[in-house]
């Protein structure tokens, strides 16, 4: 199907119906908590079943970390060994929670696989959290064991010391109630036999907590598995596209660079789980370093990268600054976790024609499922977040009363699929506010849909500044500011204003070596947006903007800092 036809929603759905009649992506309708959903008939029922994909690839390389390398079989056997330890040494049973937090080490993947394979609940905690926050996550999730590295164990000193812990890549003797991972975990040929249902809870992943205590997002085995299989289906669907000019063939030896924290769904689902399904080698980075990243691309012949947009930009910038480093293998750079400015996508198309750009939109509550687009499709609609997987993921735009709006009108983005989470852990009120009786999840994001079914993210519902009665979408202003050549990234937010109610402010990270001042930027913006949309207060900095765990900018923190600095608190 030609790309000009594929871009139309009705044509994509027609092609999807053909692909899902039989075979690998055959669909079947199932009832989940009273609502009907399309799921993949041949998809593994549980994560333990899903992990058996590793047997297909056996002796192929799967994980690389620093100078270490592990095959699919070695990873599977090590995870199985840990699963036996959890049962035999710690009496972890089906339904028990096990928390873990560390850098992007292979042991993170072993922990996730081991815990979920025995029917226990994996609780991957934010590795940026401090002691009190880790204590909250362990206590709130009712975890019976903690697995962590030295940084996390140090922060946990004085907290939940009655909880046993397994020390990863450090000396357990330095910590209370701890034993060394390598001392107790030996490779095993198979996982313990456990009766697990597809609708059993598999994980609790905590939201980034930009306001109040983080909420624990509970996902089932089915909801987690549905996402990577849907992505594989979407890839097959997009593989049928015919276009004029440059094409982006699938690499023979796929390899992805995993720099995004694994505790975030982009890391756990896109980098880890999808790679297991698609026979993709994973190169783990424990800390973001753009120069190190491009060196790893050269060393491992990395073919794809998925991270927050600033990371993708870093890779392109550093590769240009270091032409002696060979990054020719890199064929795809995708951005998720934060909005990717359309100017960035246009620049990638123009300046790096052999490296396809990609975007993805999803949330922890949807197991990262939502919308996607890449390559030629994205270049036709560079300001979009892509489209949902036809027949599998539904995305609509609702008004405040819960009615679907007309094409092009703004409203709240709502998502329904078998990938949706089951509930917020021990928070029935928040669950009822976010999930309606028909299974639609209210994302809290403002957006619209065009006639082709592509979704456009405009803002967060609580991220609209009302200045003198005029509603201003912060994301819109951030996108325009980002068009200035001296700007690397911008965050726009509201601050109290006695006369107008709120006024607009922005904090801007500059490109390396660039300079910019308020008058110059204001003049630049005046030619692009209405005067009332130009921020009255501007801060410029050389360092990147602060971020929360999901990779999004820490807008709440920056707003509070601005209010304090201006004496408005």
DSSP per-residue codes, 98-160: EEEE-SS-HHHHHHHHHHHHTT-EEEE--TT--HHHHHHHHHHTTEEEEEEEHHHHHHTTTSS
**pLDDT top residue among 131 and 86:** 86
Pick the CATH number of 47-214 from 3.40.50.11540, 3.40.50.12780, 3.20.20.70, 3.90.1490.10: 3.40.50.12780
The number of residues making up the chain comes to 569
Cβ atoms of 92 and 98 within 8 Å: the answer is: yes
- Tens of pLDDT, residue by residue over 195-214, are 999 999 999 999 854 345 78
pLDDT for position 344 = 84
CATH placement of domain 468-565: 3.30.300.30
Report whether pLDDT(98) > 50. Answer: yes
- The predicted model gives 355-367 an average pLDDT of 94
Q: Cα(314)–Cα(335) distance, rounded to whole angstroms?
A: 12
pLDDT for position 501 = 80
Confidence label for 468 from pLDDT (cuts 50, 70 and 90): confident
Please report, to the nearest 10 degrees, the dihedral formed by the alpha carbons of residues 332, 473, 415, 265 taken in order: 50
pLDDT for position 209 = 43
Enumerate helices (H) and strands (E) in the chain, giving the number of each. 20, 27
Report whether pLDDT(499) > 90. Answer: no
- The predicted model gives 261-282 an average pLDDT of 94
pLDDT for position 337 = 66
pLDDT for position 338 = 65
**pLDDT top residue among 126 and 223:** 223
> Where do the structural domains in the chain lie, given as residue ranges?
3-42+222-404, 47-214, 468-565
Task: List b or e across 404-434, with b for residues whose CB sees 16 or more CB atoms inside 10 angstroms.
Answer: eeeeeebbbbbbbbbbbbbbbbebeeebeeb
> pTM for the whole thing?
0.85
Q: 357 Cβ partners below 8 Å, 6+ apart?
A: 312, 333, 334, 335, 340, 344, 345, 348, 349, 374, 375, 378, 379
pLDDT for position 116 = 99
pLDDT for position 108 = 99
- Sheet with 487-497, side-by-side order of all strands: 487-497, 501-510, 537-541
Report whether pLDDT(242) > 60. Answer: yes
Cβ atoms of 441 and 435 within 8 Å: the answer is: yes
As a whole number, the mean pLDDT across the chain is 93
Q: Which residue in 522, 446, 553, 457 sits closest to 208, CA to CA?
A: 553
**pLDDT top residue among 241 and 47:** 47
Confidence label for 76 from pLDDT (cuts 50, 70 and 90): very high
- The predicted model gives 53-70 an average pLDDT of 95
pLDDT for position 21 = 96
pLDDT for position 210 = 39
pLDDT for position 310 = 79
Report whether pLDDT(283) > 50. Answer: yes
- The predicted model gives 275-290 an average pLDDT of 95
pLDDT for position 251 = 78
Most confident among 151-165, 335-349, 517-531 (mean pLDDT): 151-165
Give the domain 3-42+222-404 fold.
Rossmann fold (3.40.50)
Q: Which residue in 177, 169, 175, 192 sits closest to 144, CA to CA?
A: 177
- Tens of pLDDT, residue by residue over 364-420, are 999 999 999 999 999 999 999 999 999 999 999 999 899 999 999 999 999 999 999
**Is there a shared CATH topology between the 47-214 domain and the 468-565 domain?**
no
Report whether pLDDT(247) > 60. Answer: no
Report whether pLDDT(248) > 70. Answer: no
pLDDT for position 214 = 84
- The predicted model gives 558-567 an average pLDDT of 95
Q: Which residue in 29, 35, 185 sits closest to 113, CA to CA?
A: 185
Q: Which two tokens stand for residue 420?
A: 């949706």
Confidence label for 133 from pLDDT (cuts 50, 70 and 90): confident
Q: Cα(47)–Cα(57) distance, rounded to whole angstroms?
A: 17
Report whether pLDDT(336) > 80. Answer: no
């Amino acid at each position: 199907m030609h790309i000009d036809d594929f871009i139309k929603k009705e044509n994509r759905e027609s092609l999807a119906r053909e692909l899902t009649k039989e075979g690998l992506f055959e669909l079947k309708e199932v009832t989940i908590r009273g609502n009907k959903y399309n799921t993949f008939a041949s998809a593994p029922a549980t994560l333990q079943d899903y992990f058996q994909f590793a047997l297909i690839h056996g002796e192929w390389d799967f994980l690389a970390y620093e100078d270490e390398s592990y095959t699919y079989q070695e990873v599977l056997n090590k995870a199985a060994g840990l699963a036996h330890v959890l049962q035999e040494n710690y009496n972890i049973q089906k339904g028990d929670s096990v928390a873990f937090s560390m850098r992007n080490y292979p042991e993170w993947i072993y922990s996730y696989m081991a815990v979920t394979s025995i029917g226990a609940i994996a609780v991957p905690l934010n590795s940026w959290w401090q002691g009190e926050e880790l204590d909250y996550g362990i206590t709130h999730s009712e975890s019976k064991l903690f697995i962590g590295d030295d940084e996390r164990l140090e922060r946990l000193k004085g907290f939940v010391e009655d909880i046993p812990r397994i020390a990863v890549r450090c000396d357990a003797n330095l910590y209370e109630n701890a034993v060394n991972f390598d001392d107790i975990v030996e490779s095993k040929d198979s996982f313990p036999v456990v009766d697990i249902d597809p609708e059993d809870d598999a994980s609790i992943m905590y939201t980034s907590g930009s306001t109040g205590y983080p909420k624990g997002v509970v996902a089932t085995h089915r909801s987690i598995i549905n996402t990577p299989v849907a992505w594989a289906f979407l890839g097959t669907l997009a593989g049928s596209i015919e276009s004029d000019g440059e094409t982006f063939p699938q690499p023979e030896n796929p390899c992805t660079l995993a720099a995004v924290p694994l505790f975030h769904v982009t890391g756990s689902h896109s980098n880890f789980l999808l790679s297991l399904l698609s026979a993709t080698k994973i190169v783990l980075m424990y800390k973001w370093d753009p120069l190190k990243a491009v060196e790893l691309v050269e060393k491992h012949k990395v073919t794809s990268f998925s991270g927050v947009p600033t990371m993708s930009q870093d890779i392109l910038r550093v590769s240009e600054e270091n032409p002696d480093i060979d990054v020719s293998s890199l064929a795809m750079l995708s951005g998720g976790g934060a909005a990717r400015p359309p100017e960035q996508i246009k620049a990638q198309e123009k300046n790096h024609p052999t490296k396809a750009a990609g975007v993805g939109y999803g949330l922890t509550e949807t197991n990262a499922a939502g919308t996607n687009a890449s390559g030629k499709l994205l270049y036709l609609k560079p300001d979009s977040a892509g489209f949902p997987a036809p027949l599998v993921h539904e995305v609509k735009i609702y008004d405040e009363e819960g009615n679907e709006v007309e094409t092009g009108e703004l409203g709240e983005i709502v998502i329904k699929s078998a990938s949706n989470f089951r509930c917020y852990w021990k928070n029935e009120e928040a669950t009822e506010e976010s999930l309606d009786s028909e299974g639609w999840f209210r994302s809290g994001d403002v957006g619209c849909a065009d006639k082709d079914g592509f979704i456009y993210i405009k803002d967060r519902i609580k991220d609209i500044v009302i200045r003198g009665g005029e509603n201003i979408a912060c994301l819109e202003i951030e996108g325009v500011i980002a068009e200035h050549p001296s700007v690397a990234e911008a965050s726009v937010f509201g601050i109290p204003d006695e006369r107008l109610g709120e006024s607009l402010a922005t904090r801007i990270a500059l490109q390396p070596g660039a300079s910019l001042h308020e008058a110059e930027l204001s003049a630049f913006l005046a030619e692009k947006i209405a005067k009332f949309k130009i921020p009255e207060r501007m801060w410029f900095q050389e360092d990147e903007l602060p971020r929360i765990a999901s990779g999004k900018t820490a807008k709440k923190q920056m707003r509070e800092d601005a209010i304090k600095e201006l004496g408005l608190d």
